[in-house]
Structure 1
């Protein structure tokens, strides 16, 4: 009898743990960090109903429904304390699983105009979740949300519809609030840069020995804004196109030398402002030739960034956005690639 007692006591306690999900699994499902879930539990009382052995959290379907509502509300700009109160009150009437109005993928392309900490305007709901994480300086939440965003919607949508609007909102807040939001912009930019770098890891950047030259990506001299180029670099890696990324503020001499050495198919020059948009440099790069006499070649020049606006340069591309830039470069590369078996 004494030997059987521990078994009789432990078996009922194990059932809720098996029925619930762990904090890590729930965090992955919701697109937030485990740290955020623990913080919400501690601060707002939206924790699991069951804790095996008193410490390990196990989340039941009802708990999950409550957290899904919490995430939906905070992503729409509702303050966490108010979102928690609403989620706790409505947990019995919230269906288990994604909100049918948002589609099968959970947070979908539904838009929201709820007031938030940053001047976001009419944007995707994911922007509000990312902005709130940025303002809280919640690095794990930003990482998780960005990774989930790229995985679910692809790089172009993630960049154009979430990353860029959120960065612009942080910039506007910074401009109107002195230097109070500098740390927010720096942290958000770093995490976006990190996720963009991560997107290029599976890529093989070296062009085949007999294939067209790579796409050279460079900010013009004096230009420090390289995030858009990083997004383009990641997009080209997804397409399998060879690239050479030189980053911010590339000196004229260094860029010219690189073009001559690499013989690129195209050179993308990024200028964020009119003061950095160097028209003579763009013409010089476009006129750079290489190869033997009679078979000399030169690169196509692609002008990226708002700094080139109002400065039409004959024979140069100026795509309006990331999707168009990727399409133009794909077309350029295909037009000079050798035909298989040809």
Structure 2
């Protein structure tokens, strides 16, 4: 006679302990979505660093319990901050809290699987988007942590690291040596990967814009007369890339210099009208690609004057961005870097830039744009 409780049938059999354990655990795919990494990355961390699940359903399928997830969250946080994965894995395992009473854990090392993981891709495993590396080269350590967080689409980590870079290094250096190199790396990866990583660049750009605007002080007032007017910052018609101008605007306000930010794709007529009304000391025109660089507009602004006859003033026109490559003219200036542009504009008001170029000395300002420059 079979040992079946009253009421009979398979559904009435006691549930094995292993089944109860998995009821409150996550599969590899679900955990990957929760953490913002790829399933391949989780399997790789398990294989390389021993950060694996304590429970495997039927000895095959990975099931991640709360203690496992806590270790992985620590791993993600450390790698986002730029800690090498092997070191982050050791620290994450050390920080694991003691398991609560009643939580089943293996007595020794992680139990080997009885067979191959049916979810694992064949070897060699293809690199996923989330596990991809960016061509950063010789950059600050902050760039590597920022890139890892961006590729994982870890928005909180991206925001925290950008804010920390500005707080630690100042706005100019944070822009030149942390933000721009990371954007360039994403842009190069995008261009070479058939439009993959688009979401990474969009997320990174959004949070950079957020940090830059939070770092922007209220606009400074300028004397009506005498003295130079404000700096006008505008993208040429058809140009949507505003990040470099946002950075320059924030840096000018940090120096308490008057600036007027007009943003993306300013119509030519509107820009000319604003220049005539404001009488600016300088007009910064941003063009990311050659097709948007309007040299006739730049020449027209150079010729715009105001004031009484014999004492008329004209603005200095600053050409920013790779779209102006090889172009310049009388009354126009094409800075070689962000710092160069900031120093030039500050000199118009008899002021000096407070933040010198950082030790890496990268050409990352108004001559070269972020992203796919």
* Correspondent of 2:69 among 43, 50, 59: 43
Q: Give the aligned partner of residue 123 of structure 1.
A: 139
CA RMSD of superposed structures (Å): 2.7
Q: Deviations over 1:156-208 (max 9, x none)?
A: 111111101111111122222223311111111010001111111x3333323
Task: Say which one has the larger Rg.
Answer: 2
**Larger helix proportion, structure 1 or 2?**
1
Relative to structure 1, the CA distance from residue 289 to residue 41 in structure 2 (aligned partners, 3 Å threshold; closer, same or farther) is: farther
Answer whether contact 2:190 2:196 (CA < 8 A) is retained: yes
Q: CA deviation at 1:121?
A: 1.8
Report the Cα offset of residue 73 of structure 1: 5.6
- Structure 1: gaps spanning 5 or more residues: 1-34, 48-66, 92-114, 336-342
**Runs of 5+ in structure 2 lacking a partner?**
1-34, 37-65, 96-130, 352-373
| CA shift for structure 1 position 84 | 3.7
Match of residue 203 from structure 1: 218
Normalising by structure 1, what TM-score?
Answer: 0.67
Q: Deviations over 1:274-319 (max 9, x none)?
A: 2222111111100001123233211111111112121131232111
Q: 1:331 to 1:143 in 2, by over 3 A?
A: same
Q: After superposition, give the CA deviation of every residue in 1:2-56 in whole Å (9 maximum; x if it has no partner).
A: xxxxxxxxxxxxxxxxxxxxxxxxxxxxxxxxx99xxx97625279xxxxxxxxx
Deviations 1:102-144 (A, max 9, x none): xxxxxxxxxxxxx962221221110111111111211111111
The equivalent of 1:57 in structure 2 is none
Counterpart among 78, 90, 94 of residue 84 in structure 2: 78
What is aligned with 1:275?
A: 291
Determine which structure has greater relative contact order: mean sequence separation of CA pairs < 8 Å that are 6+ residues apart, divided by chain length.
2
Q: 1:241 aligns with which of 257, 263, 267?
A: 257
330 and 41 in structure 1: CA distance in 2 versus 1, 3 angstrom threshold? farther
Within 2, Cα distance between the matches of 1:41 and 1:290? Answer: 70
The size of the alignment, in residue pairs, is 252
Q: How does 1:56-71 map to 2 (within 5 A)?
A: none
Q: C-alpha deviations, 1:206-237, integer Å up to 9, x for none?
A: 32333421000011111111110111001101
Deviations 1:221-258 (A, max 9, x none): 11111110111001101111111101111111111000
1:295 aligns with 2:311: yes
Q: 1:255 to 1:88 in 2, by over 3 A?
A: closer
